[in-house]
Structure 1
Amino acid sequence: MTLPVALSGSDVIGQAKTGTGKTLGFGLPILERVTVPADVEAGRAAPEKLTDAPQALIVVPTRELCQQVTNDLLTAGKARNVRVLAIYGGRAYEPQVEALKKGVDVVVGTPGRLLDLAGQRKLDLSHIRVLVLDEADEMLDLGFLPDVERIITMLPPKRQTMLFSATMPGAVISLARRYMSQPTHINATSPDDEGTTVKNTAQYVYRAHNMDKPEMVSRILQAEGRGLAMIFCRTKRTAADIAEQLEKRGFASGAVHGDLGQGAREQALRAFRNGKVDVLVCTDVAARGIDVEGVTHVINYQSPEDEKTYLHRIGRTGRAGAKGTAITLVDWDDIPRWQLINKALDLKFPDPPETYSTSPHLYEELGIPAGTKGVLPRAERTRAGLRAEEIEDLGETGGRGRKSAPAAPAPREERAPRTPRQRRRTRGGSTLDESAVTVPAPAEGPTDEDTPEARTPRRRRRTRAAAPEAVAEAAVTVVETPAAEAEPAPAPAAESAAEAKPRRRRTRTAAAKPAVAQAPAAEPVVDFQTVAVAAQTAEPVATKPRRRTRVVKPADEVDFQIAPVSEPAPQTRARRSTRSAAKPKAEAVAATTTVEDAAETKPRRRRPRAAAEKAETAVVTVTADGEAAPAKPRRRRSRAAAAAETAEG
């Protein structure tokens, strides 16, 4: 019915039951309409109509269907030498691109890969004369409608469009109205067919428990007269699990689902067609258009989603006039779904009988021999199995293909010597720099000469209980001078004070020791000298605890490390002293050597009257001649400090 309408160039909507030959219904008109060199030689076509670009495009939803349609068209077009190319995902791009460069007449492909090659300008769609959408409703269900519309917009507006499917929902009809011009709707049915299913297919529906289903399937597969069998599952995980269980029970089984690479999927289909595998467990990806000779049994391990899926599943058997058996196992939870399918297709199984692997009616209806168990006897294991079919290396994309064998390890004598990992000592998560400045320990305490220089001792904190007797407190004045004006001023007091070490914290009764932090030579020269003169203390305290060195990191700016005072003098609060410690402090005078006028230093904060008797410091500026010049007086001084300064002057 389709051939005369399609050969005339009119748009066609073809609808027929599964297994009635839809592929050649659109394939033969395409093979006749394309222009090949034989037509030019016979004078049926002009030479300018010859082109290496594809002249016909067939869009299919699945890779397996794409490969099957390509093989059918190659067989039918052998006499005219028509070049047919399959383009689908899961394979390498390069062979497909090379075939397009050599020239092709008919392209059969899936929407994703067609869009990829068209977007890369590898596929030229400007010469397409015929467009065919096979299994159009399945492409709508899989979400291919936007991709199909994009492909249609790339085609010439003047073309022939044909849609073919076993079921035609409303969305397909609306698609036809949008992109087709006055289509002819052909619905082919046989006079003796009743309903929507093929009459040659015997249907059985059983209510089965999920845990008993593997045993039931194993016994059904041992029925008399069984040839090839296909088992459909709803999920990929279930399909993989059932294929593995059947293999353990002795059946030659293979699996086809979306988690497998394209090479493994084609390997299973080839083994199934060649007879090496007689049980194919698959998802609905293989329910469309797959035509394998000799399929006698189709088992729905899980209930289908809707009536269309059910029709396409059982359509794998009873094809081209052959007889088949369709068995559906419905779980208790799927009874409502099955009742909807039964009503939509007008079947006679509204309430399936409860059935187990030992039920007598199961053996009687399906012809299972009495005494059959769930394991295939060894005498009947005659199939070669899936491993007998070699897997083809397709250069799969996505990293799911066959992995190459790992390279052999090199001999021991040829291996490169292993370099040990270098470790760097850190303190507090930061790496110790070689250019860090180390402040030496004070001269009056125990020295660190017996300690290795590379070893940095752990920093400790002093507590109040460990504080020695009080010593005189010295004030520190910091003045920075540019490098051009700074000159070294050697002094014995400064050299003795350079060995002082900064302290982290001090108690109220503990006196601070002077410290000097040397800056890097590249930075401006800054001298910090703190001289403490005790009136009554002539010798250093022998019981002073051991000092620890401190590492100072070099920075872009000079980092001043002042041990006695953690912050500059203007930012620290004045400390209170007891009356007993006030007398020795009043007699102590600190001389600080600076390189600028002491007037530039910030004044101290105001102190209470209780600290009036505390020792004050005198800032002395060293001139180039080595003589000390009197410093400018502070803004606020106590009477005792003024009298001491007058006497000193």
Structure 2
Amino acid sequence: MTDNSTDLLTEEIPEPLEARAPVAAESPAFSDFEVKPEIVAALADVGIVRTFAIQEMTLPIALAGNDLIGQARTGTGKTLGFGVPLLNRLTLPGGEAAAPQALVVAPTRELAVQVSGDLAAAGKQLGARVLTIYGGRAYEPQVDALRKGVDVVVGTPGRLLDLAQQGHLVLGNVRILVLDEADEMLDLGFLPDIEKIMKMLPEKRQTMLFSATMPGPIVALARSFLNQPIQIRAEHGASTPRTDHIDQFAYRAHSMDKLELLARVLQAKGRTLTLIFTRTKRTAAKVADDLLSRGFAAAAVHGDLGQGAREQALRAFRSGKVDVLVATDVAARGLDVEGISHVINYQAPEDEMTYVHRIGRTARAGAKGNSITLVDWDDMPRWKLICDKLDLPLHEPVETYSTSPHLYLELNIPAEAKGVLPRAERTRAGLDAEQLEDLGGRAPKSTRPGRGSGGPGGQRSAAPRADRPARNRNRTRTRGGRPVDGAAASEAPSADPAANPAADGAAKPARRRRRRPANSTGPAAE
């Protein structure tokens, strides 16, 4: 694919329909569209009645069975934009051992879980069976669920392709395909897997592609696998992503003072759930451990953690048992948690789109939020480029330390705040209060019995095994195949001095070898 592939968008895809925010005081309700009453009632049960801009523009096209490309900033409700039409077109009940009728492909496990939960909630009264498939879990439960029959499958590309090639996931009945966050799948290198999966699907189907940006390979994918799609943009003039709905702050901070500064920011008045982003897995683990030592209820999510530990941290964050989640960009997309008041970039992002997706975890669904970026001296050139591309007036962050008065004033931090959370404010249950789920996979080496592990911590036990007798560790000195004089007697000493000459000093003295003289030709003297 050449660099000019983005120009092909205008050749194969009609002129995009750009949607402004609804002018009326209230946007249309889901019941105003041709949506099944069961779906409308299920959404009303969770407090969702009216549509957002992307949903308002998507529903008429998707409900009619047309292919489309949806483009909108994060947090605007894209999941229901394709989820409601998907559920509306299912043929239910599907029956036992039924192959899936709809397939949703997501780039990350966290996004797959979030999408699956939204679809299950919206299709609850329909009786739609939604299955989530992703790596890091045992194969057997997923294969058993597929054998029993499902209506909608949501999964990540790697595990979906693996099960499909093994014959467990039957894709011949799929009539609706959704590619969510397609540009993120491109960044993670999933595009070849996506193409293999799409070649296994029936040609006659509805395909919906949702992406925040439209790079060239995504356009080529749309040309190859979508049938006359309509591109929908939820914001007018979406060439530059909007971030003005979030209160943004940037400070030039020294790396040696960042943790002290962060501890004070986390004591700001009105702060609820907080998401902290780092660029590396090691930094995420270090920051989370340091915050725990300072009294904050913190947890980490990064690639070095197992899937069970990652889901444990996310569940604790959603339930409020921890209020600070330190994450790498693996959680930048797909993490939809209500009530995140602050997003803190502990390390500056790599580019402008990473910044947009990071801070998009707050101020979702029309709420208010704050983003704080701590910029190192080395990151200043990158940060200025981000500000240029997003039209942010934050090109020159003020040099700030944990004791700077303007930090307390701008972020509404109490004057008495220090680097440790007071004990009276440590009211969260913490990560240990959330149970670690057994995913059914093979245990790590440090906890598996056998070589190199003895107890829970992986230390070899010194106690002898009960299934075999303890070995006699006494050894007999031999020379020429015969025991050395006194060796056998020393192994089994006798109480009789006559029978044990070694006991009364009668043993022969050890023979000593003498070095042969340099001018000697005979045998060495002993």
Aligned to 1:311: 356
**Do the aligned partners of residues 301 and 402 (structure 1) sit closer, same or farther apart at CA in structure 2, a change above 3 Å counting?**
farther
Q: What pairs up with 1:31-42 in 2 under 5 angstroms? A: 31-37=87-93
Offset, 1:112: 1.1
User: Are positions 1:327 and 2:380 aligned together?
Assistant: no
Aligned to 2:51: none
Aligned to 2:230: 184
Q: Which of the numbers 220, 223, 227 marks the counterpart of 1:174?
A: 220
Aligned to 1:255: 300
- Give deviations 1:236-280, integer Å, cap 9, x for gaps: 000000001111111100111111111111111111111110000
Give secondary structure in 1 for the equivalent of 2:399: coil
Aligned to 1:123: 169
Distance 2:191 2:432 in 1: 38
- Give deviations 1:309-356, integer Å, cap 9, x for gaps: 101100000001100001111100000111111111111111111111
Aligned to 1:551: none
**Do the aligned partners of residues 402 and 86 (structure 1) sit closer, same or farther apart at CA in structure 2, a change above 3 Å counting?**
farther
Offset, 1:171: 2.6
Give secondary structure in 2 for the equivalent of 1:155: coil
Q: What pairs up with 1:291-302 in 2 under 5 angstroms? A: 291-302=336-347
User: Are positions 1:141 and 2:197 aligned together?
Assistant: no
Distance 1:391 1:91 in 2: 13
Q: Which amino acid aligns with 1:417?
A: P
Offset, 1:81: 0.5
Q: Percentage identity across aligned positions?
A: 64
Distance 1:15 1:199 in 2: 18
Q: Which amino acid aligns with 2:376?
A: D
Contact 1:276/1:384 (CA < 8 Å) preserved in 2? yes
Q: Which of the numbers 259, 270, 283 marks the counterpart of 2:328?
A: 283
Distance 1:5 1:414 in 2: 70
Aligned to 2:264: 219
User: Are positions 1:74 and 2:120 aligned together?
Assistant: yes
Offset, 1:234: 0.3
Offset, 1:359: 1.3
Offset, 1:126: 1.5
Give secondary structure in 1 for the equivalent of 2:219: helix
Contact 1:261/1:396 (CA < 8 Å) preserved in 2? no
Q: Which of the numbers 10, 13, 17 marks the counterpart of 2:73?
A: 17
Give secondary structure in 2 for the equivalent of 1:280: strand
Aligned to 1:418: 470
Give secondary structure in 2 for the equivalent of 1:14: strand
Aligned to 1:96: 142
Contact 2:342/2:369 (CA < 8 Å) preserved in 1? yes
Q: Which amino acid aligns with 1:17?
A: R
Contact 2:102/2:176 (CA < 8 Å) preserved in 1? yes
Larger Rg belongs to: 1
Q: Which has the higher helix share?
A: 2
Q: Which of the numbers 64, 86, 97 marks the counterpart of 1:8?
A: 64
Distance 1:93 1:315 in 2: 33
Aligned to 1:153: 199
Q: Which of the numbers 384, 407, 414 marks the counterpart of 1:362?
A: 407
Contact 1:207/1:330 (CA < 8 Å) preserved in 2? yes
User: Are positions 1:165 and 2:216 aligned together?
Assistant: no
Give secondary structure in 2 for the equivalent of 1:338: helix
Offset, 1:399: 2.9
Offset, 1:409: 8.3
User: Are positions 1:114 and 2:160 aligned together?
Assistant: yes
Distance 1:164 1:81 in 2: 26
Q: What pairs up with 1:199-278 in 2 under 5 angstroms? A: 199-278=244-323
Give secondary structure in 2 for the equivalent of 1:384: coil
Q: Which of the numbers 26, 42, 57 marks the counterpart of 2:82?
A: 26
Q: Which amino acid aligns with 1:21?
A: G
Distance 1:420 1:4 in 2: 83
**Do the aligned partners of residues 201 and 65 (structure 1) sit closer, same or farther apart at CA in structure 2, a change above 3 Å counting?**
same
Distance 1:21 1:349 in 2: 29
Q: Which amino acid aligns with 1:149?
A: E
Contact 2:105/2:156 (CA < 8 Å) preserved in 1? yes
Offset, 1:65: 0.9
**Do the aligned partners of residues 304 and 373 (structure 1) sit closer, same or farther apart at CA in structure 2, a change above 3 Å counting?**
same
Contact 2:243/2:356 (CA < 8 Å) preserved in 1? no
Distance 1:424 1:72 in 2: 74
**Do the aligned partners of residues 190 and 228 (structure 1) sit closer, same or farther apart at CA in structure 2, a change above 3 Å counting?**
farther
Contact 1:260/1:400 (CA < 8 Å) preserved in 2? no
Q: Which amino acid aligns with 2:212?
A: A
Give secondary structure in 2 for the equivalent of 1:72: helix
Distance 1:242 1:208 in 2: 15
**Do the aligned partners of residues 250 and 547 (structure 1) sit closer, same or farther apart at CA in structure 2, a change above 3 Å counting?**
closer
Distance 1:281 1:327 in 2: 14
Distance 2:123 2:375 in 1: 44
Contact 1:234/1:304 (CA < 8 Å) preserved in 2? yes
Give secondary structure in 2 for the equivalent of 1:108: strand
Distance 2:171 2:74 in 1: 30
Distance 1:110 1:401 in 2: 28
Distance 1:249 1:464 in 2: 78
Contact 2:97/2:147 (CA < 8 Å) preserved in 1? no
Offset, 1:143: 1.0
Distance 2:465 2:118 in 1: 58
Distance 2:160 2:447 in 1: 24
Offset, 1:372: 1.5
Give secondary structure in 2 for the equivalent of 1:316: coil
Q: What pairs up with 1:394-473 in 2 under 5 angstroms? A: 394-397=439-442, 399=444, 406=455, 416-420=468-472, 465-466=520-521
Offset, 1:36: 1.2
Contact 1:16/1:188 (CA < 8 Å) preserved in 2? yes
Distance 1:85 1:401 in 2: 31
Q: Which amino acid aligns with 1:24?
A: L
Distance 1:413 1:400 in 2: 20
Aligned to 2:15: none
Q: Which TM-score applies when normalising by structure 2?
A: 0.76
Contact 1:128/1:155 (CA < 8 Å) preserved in 2? yes
Q: Which of the numbers 406, 421, 427 marks the counterpart of 1:382?
A: 427
**Do the aligned partners of residues 411 and 296 (structure 1) sit closer, same or farther apart at CA in structure 2, a change above 3 Å counting?**
closer
Distance 1:281 1:196 in 2: 25
- Give deviations 1:10-63, integer Å, cap 9, x for gaps: 11110111111000111111111121128xxxxxxxx9xx97111111111111
Give secondary structure in 2 for the equivalent of 1:210: coil
- Give deviations 1:126-171, integer Å, cap 9, x for gaps: 1111111111111111111111111112212222111112222233
- Structure number with the bigger relative contact order (C-alpha 8 A, sep ≥ 6) is 2
Contact 2:97/2:146 (CA < 8 Å) preserved in 1? no
Distance 1:208 1:196 in 2: 26
Distance 2:158 2:351 in 1: 26
Q: Which amino acid aligns with 1:177?
A: R
Distance 2:467 2:248 in 1: 67
Contact 2:103/2:152 (CA < 8 Å) preserved in 1? yes
Contact 1:30/1:130 (CA < 8 Å) preserved in 2? yes
- Count residues in correspondence: 436
Give secondary structure in 2 for the equivalent of 1:379: helix
**Do the aligned partners of residues 206 and 115 (structure 1) sit closer, same or farther apart at CA in structure 2, a change above 3 Å counting?**
same
Offset, 1:118: 1.4
**Do the aligned partners of residues 134 and 546 (structure 1) sit closer, same or farther apart at CA in structure 2, a change above 3 Å counting?**
closer
Contact 1:261/1:400 (CA < 8 Å) preserved in 2? no
Distance 1:397 1:78 in 2: 33
